[in-house]
Amino acid sequence: MLKTVTISKTMAMPAETVWSAIAGIGGLERWFPVIAACRVIGDGVGALRILTLAAGGEMTDRVELIDHCHRRFQYNRIESPFGVSHYLGTVTVGETVDGGSVVEWMVEIDAELVSQELLDFVHQAITDGVAGLEWDLLESAASSSASEAL
């Protein structure tokens, strides 16, 4: 049964800044509280991301698409402790009229039995991760500004 989870968040930072972080493939351990470590093998499309969960276990993503023109990133979760047969994540970064950005993170999940508990977990994990991304970028910008002031 195919289910979709979608998160959308507007950020007060340029789309290119947000896109650069996402297109960089790694760093998810800084954004997602449920991820303890993120290791990247390879570069660009075809690269693998090995994610160690804070609660134990690992997940592996294969990068399927990095479209810089449309700021679209897609990954396929090829290994997961959650027993899903299909997990495709798509992240798109758009521009707002005031120079900010909007991040849309969509996940398609297919499993013989997709529980509401799993959907809620994915929704919360992505929500927390996108908020963590924003926090990380704001913190980096503040650090850069402080360094430049010195």
Give tens-digit pLDDT for 53-100.
999 999 999 999 999 999 999 999 999 998 888 999 999 999 999 999
What is the percentage of the chain residues whose pLDDT exceeds 70?
95
Q: What share of the chain is helix, strand, coil (3-state, %, to 5)?
A: 30, 40, 30
Q: How many Å apart are CA 135 and CA 143, to the nearest integer?
A: 12
Which residues does residue 65 pair with via DSSP β-bridges, in sequence order? 74
Q: What is the pLDDT of residue 1?
A: 79
102 assigned to some structural domain: yes
DSSP 3-state of 94: strand
149 assigned to some structural domain: no
145 assigned to some structural domain: no
150 assigned to some structural domain: no
CB atoms within 10 A of CB 33: 13
Answer whether residue 148 shows pLDDT above 70.
no
Shortest CA distance to 63 belongs to which of 51, 75, 80, 77? 75
91 assigned to some structural domain: yes
72 assigned to some structural domain: yes
Instruction: Look up residue 91 and give its two tokens.
Output: 């992240």
pLDDT category at 149 given cuts 50, 70, 90 is very low
CATH of the domain at 40: 3.30.530.20
8 assigned to some structural domain: yes
Answer whether residue 150 shows pLDDT above 80.
no
Q: Please, what is the average pLDDT of the chain? A: 92
147 assigned to some structural domain: no
Q: Give me the domain span that covers residue 74.
A: 2-140
pLDDT category at 111 given cuts 50, 70, 90 is confident
How many domains are contained in the chain? 1
Q: What is the pLDDT of residue 112?
A: 74
